[in-house]
Amino acid sequence: MYTEKRKISRDEESKIVFIVNIILIVIFVFLLFSFWNLQILKNEHYKFLSSRNIIKDIEIKAPRGFITDKNGVVLAENRLSFDLFVIRDYIADMDRTINEAVKLTGLNEETINNRIDKYRKFPGSYNIPLKRNLSFKNVIYIESRSDDFPEFRIEQEPARFYPFGKIASHIIGYLSEISQNEYMGLKEKGYKLGDMAGRSGIEKTYEKFLKGKHGVKTVIKDNLGQIHNIIDIEEPKIGDTVSLTIDIALQQYIEELYGDYNGAAGVVDLKTGGMLAMVSKPNFDPGFFSESFKKEEWNNLINDDSKPLNNRFIQGLYSPGSTFKIVMAIAGLSENIINTNSGVTCYGSAKVYDRVFHCWNRLGHGWMNLQEAIQNSCNIFFYQLGKKIDIDVIAKYGEYFGLKEKTLIDIPHEKTGILPTRKWKRKNYNQDWYPGETISVAIGGGMITVTPAQILAMISTVALRGKRPKFHLFKNNKRDKKILKEYTPEFYSVNIEKRIFENVIKGLFMGVNEEGTGRGARVEGLNVCGKTGTQLILSLENPNYKKLVKQRRFTPHSWFVSFAPRENPEYAVMVFVENGGDAGKIAAPMAGKIYRRIFGYE
């Protein structure tokens, strides 16, 4: 009965069943082969990919080494800061992420785009820093929304901290993030994008000691970046502690002496060349650079009129003023142009080469010998000397005292002043040297310029009677409390008779201790020797001199260079105050205070 229902013939049915069976066999054989290919032949490849999926290396940033002063007081250390990162792998919608990042960081869209772009060659799982040092409020806010925004991550990382704030900022320097181009050159040295590097000061010079070595944490992460397991951990190594020759208490004292004046000061230990203090005012906040990615803030700082980033001590170029008379005197004596008995009568002005030159003392000093001329800083004496001495000879002696070269102090970006010669003028102005120009140079004016550091080098050479110390800030570096490298002092020698130094030093001693221009630096019981320099901004011949000079910007710069004690000198002190006015009234008393502080005369 049921067979009647069937219209398909047996043949037809077997044909269909046969074809279906063939199809079945083909399908399953094909599947077996393709799985064989995928799972057995390509197993290694996919095993690698699968472990790469879950096994991630996470950088553990090494804390930077500490910077301390000579007594071990910490000048730069690290504090944990909450930093905001973004991880490309977890960005679902770039626009949404960027909008949120703008809200969280306050940076603009372009800056954020640029930051993400900077890391494009890094794996998608890399933590891209967006903002450092988040406020606690922000941290909580971001953490509470981590489900909505898995791409944002907050990590605690060591951040540079400078306990003394702006104090010693030019010594310490600052850090900022390395750029993409720098990274190319630095990656072999263990740097990662997002790392900080020293840009100036000690932070830059001793970068290799301070850097430390990053650690790595190998972890298992799921597809949302949740860490499930730590497989391996290589602890980071903190950078070496770099100790300086600086005495931070003294440094701070000197910086505060400046009040709202700008300028530079240096105190050097003459036995080693180590700097006890190195001041440049105004100073800046070194912490600023490691935190901010904002271009405007950078520009504000860079374009500040008072140039706080400029380290005046090694970069400021100024006329040395009367401090240069020291070099002139030594040159005159060495070349036998003058001797200790030579004298000049000062009437307050003199006609040299048909031009009238003034002494600072319009009433005149009367008859002066060399030492008295130094003591009273008499211009007329040195005008006469300038008439008899060639500019190239002056330059030769300037060179002996380090005025042509860098002091090679161990922080970067040092400049040198101009020690003019005939050749120099020909080259730069295509002109002959006029003898009248020598007269200006003879009192530290005209074309000659120096840095405060060079002037300190000059007075140090005088103090040590012909030995010029190489300046430095580095004392030693320590790892695990063990000293690795200790600074060994270096000196350059100048072949000038000791007698000549003693003659000039007598004048310097008189200048401070016997009613000379430098008497403000006098310290009872300590034989300070020094020389003032008051470098006019306006010419005395300017008809409005008396009116204009009251404005701060036309007020003369003040110098005071000195050392103490007279015999077996220990320290040289250089004070330079921009627009400070009469050096005898400002720079010299500041130096006096510094000596009292150093030698404990308070």
Partner 1 sequence: MVMSDIVRFFDRFTFILLLFIVALGAFLVFSASFSSGNNYLMKHLVKIIISLILFFIMLSFKTETAFRWSFLLYIFLVAVLIIQLFTGKIISGTKSWIKMGFLSIQVSEFIKIPVALLLAQFFSKVSVLGWGSFIKMTTFVLIPFVLIALQPDMGTAFILLSFILISVLLKRIKFSIIIFSLIVLIAGSFVMWNYMLKPYQKDRIISFVNPGKYSKSSGYQIIQSKIAFGSGGLSGKGYLKGSQSQYKFLPTRHTDFIASVLGEEFGYLGVSFLLLLFFIFFYRQFNLNVRSDEEFYFIFLFNGLILFQFLINILMITGLFPVLGIPLPFVSYGGSSMLAFFIGEGLIFKMKLNNFIQHE
Which range, of 30-38, 151-159, 254-262, 495-503, touches partner 1 by CB under 8 A? Answer: 30-38
**Residue number, 73 or 98, with CB nearest to partner 1:** 98
Indicate whether 34 belongs to the interface with partner 1 (CB under 8 A).
Answer: yes
Burial of 135 (0-12, 13-18, 19+ CB in 10 A): exposed
Cβ-contact 325, 532 below 8 angstroms: no
**Residue number, 47 or 547, with CB nearest to partner 1:** 47
Which range, of 14-22, 60-68, 248-256, 276-284, touches partner 1 by CB under 8 A? Answer: 14-22
Indicate whether 140 belongs to the interface with partner 1 (CB under 8 A).
Answer: no
Length of the chain measured in residues: 602
Which range, of 12-20, 210-218, 284-292, 343-351, touches partner 1 by CB under 8 A? Answer: 12-20
Interacting residue with partner 1 among 33, 39, 79, 428 (CB under 8 A): 39
Which range, of 220-228, 445-453, 461-469, 534-542, touches partner 1 by CB under 8 A? Answer: 220-228
**Shortest distance, CB of residue 221 to partner 1, whole angstroms?**
7
Which range, of 46-54, 266-274, 359-367, 384-392, touches partner 1 by CB under 8 A? Answer: 46-54
Binding mask 70-99 for partner 1 (x = CB under 8 A): ----------------------x-------
**Shortest distance, CB of residue 219 to partner 1, whole angstroms?**
11
Indicate whether 54 belongs to the interface with partner 1 (CB under 8 A).
Answer: yes
Indicate whether 363 belongs to the interface with partner 1 (CB under 8 A).
Answer: no
Burial of 533 (0-12, 13-18, 19+ CB in 10 A): buried
**Shortest distance, CB of residue 41 to partner 1, whole angstroms?**
9
Interacting residue with partner 1 among 33, 53, 190, 295 (CB under 8 A): 53
**Shortest distance, CB of residue 135 to partner 1, whole angstroms?**
32
CA dihedral 94, 97, 102, 107 (to 10 degrees): -60
Indicate whether 31 belongs to the interface with partner 1 (CB under 8 A).
Answer: yes
Indicate whether 109 belongs to the interface with partner 1 (CB under 8 A).
Answer: no
Burial of 329 (0-12, 13-18, 19+ CB in 10 A): buried
**Shortest distance, CB of residue 20 to partner 1, whole angstroms?**
5
Which range, of 2-10, 128-136, 353-361, 377-385, touches partner 1 by CB under 8 A? Answer: 2-10
Cβ-contact 321, 346 below 8 angstroms: no
Indicate whether 51 belongs to the interface with partner 1 (CB under 8 A).
Answer: yes
Indicate whether 1 belongs to the interface with partner 1 (CB under 8 A).
Answer: yes
E-strand ranges in 502-588 read: 529-535, 557-564, 571-577
**Shortest distance, CB of residue 110 to partner 1, whole angstroms?**
25
Indicate whether 28 belongs to the interface with partner 1 (CB under 8 A).
Answer: yes
What letter would DSSP give residue 63? P
**Residue number, 32 or 249, with CB nearest to partner 1:** 32
Q: Which is nearest to 599 in space by CA: 513, 488, 511, 521?
A: 521
Question: φ and ψ at 41, to 5 degrees?
Answer: -70, -40
Indicate whether 33 belongs to the interface with partner 1 (CB under 8 A).
Answer: no
For residues 224 and 206, give the distance between their C-alpha atoms in angstroms, rounded to a whole number: 40
Binders of partner 1 among residues 225 to 254 (CB under 8 A) are 228
**Residue number, 120 or 485, with CB nearest to partner 1:** 120
**Residue number, 19 or 230, with CB nearest to partner 1:** 19
Residue with tokens 């120009």: 437
Q: Which is nearest to 168 in space by CA: 240, 244, 255?
A: 255
Positive or negative, the CA dihedral 334, 528, 403, 433 is: negative
Token pair listed for 543: 């008809």
Which range, of 45-53, 272-280, 348-356, 463-471, touches partner 1 by CB under 8 A? Answer: 45-53
Which range, of 130-138, 222-230, 410-418, 573-581, touches partner 1 by CB under 8 A? Answer: 222-230
Indicate whether 7 belongs to the interface with partner 1 (CB under 8 A).
Answer: yes
Which range, of 28-36, 293-301, 338-346, 428-436, touches partner 1 by CB under 8 A? Answer: 28-36
Interacting residue with partner 1 among 109, 110, 148, 222 (CB under 8 A): 222
Task: Return the axis-axis angle of helices 325-334 and 452-463, rounded to nearest 10°.
Answer: 40
Cis amide bond preceding 565, omega within 30: yes
Binders of partner 1 among residues 525 to 544 (CB under 8 A) are none
**Residue number, 228 or 481, with CB nearest to partner 1:** 228
Interacting residue with partner 1 among 102, 220, 337, 538 (CB under 8 A): 220
Interacting residue with partner 1 among 38, 140, 230, 302 (CB under 8 A): 38
Q: Which is nearest to 398 in space by CA: 342, 345, 320, 476?
A: 320
For residues 444 and 449, give the distance between their C-alpha atoms in angstroms, rounded to a whole number: 8
**Shortest distance, CB of residue 75 to partner 1, whole angstroms?**
46
Task: Return the axis-axis angle of helices 94-105 and 136-144, rounded to nearest 10°.
Answer: 160
**Residue number, 31 or 140, with CB nearest to partner 1:** 31
Residues 6+ away with beta carbon under 8 Å from 185? none
Q: Which is nearest to 385 in space by CA: 420, 424, 335?
A: 335
Indicate whether 147 belongs to the interface with partner 1 (CB under 8 A).
Answer: no
**Shortest distance, CB of residue 21 to partner 1, whole angstroms?**
7
Indicate whether 43 belongs to the interface with partner 1 (CB under 8 A).
Answer: yes
Task: Return the axis-axis angle of helices 435-442 and 379-388, rounded to nearest 10°.
Answer: 140
Query: 344 - beta bridge partners?
Result: 368
Where helices occur in 401-525 by DSSP H, the ranges are 422-429, 435-442, 452-463, 498-513
Q: What is the residue type of 63?
A: P
Token pair listed for 249: 């208490």
Query: 346 - beta bridge partners?
Result: 366
Given 3-state DSSP classes, what are the helix, strand and coil percentages for the chain, each rounded to the nearest 5?
40, 25, 35
For residues 143 and 557, give the distance between their C-alpha atoms in angstroms, rounded to a whole number: 56
Interface contacts to partner 1, rule CB under 8 A: 1-3, 5-8, 13, 16-17, 19-21, 24, 27-28, 31-32, 34-36, 38-40, 42-43, 45-47, 49-51, 53-54, 92, 220-224, 228
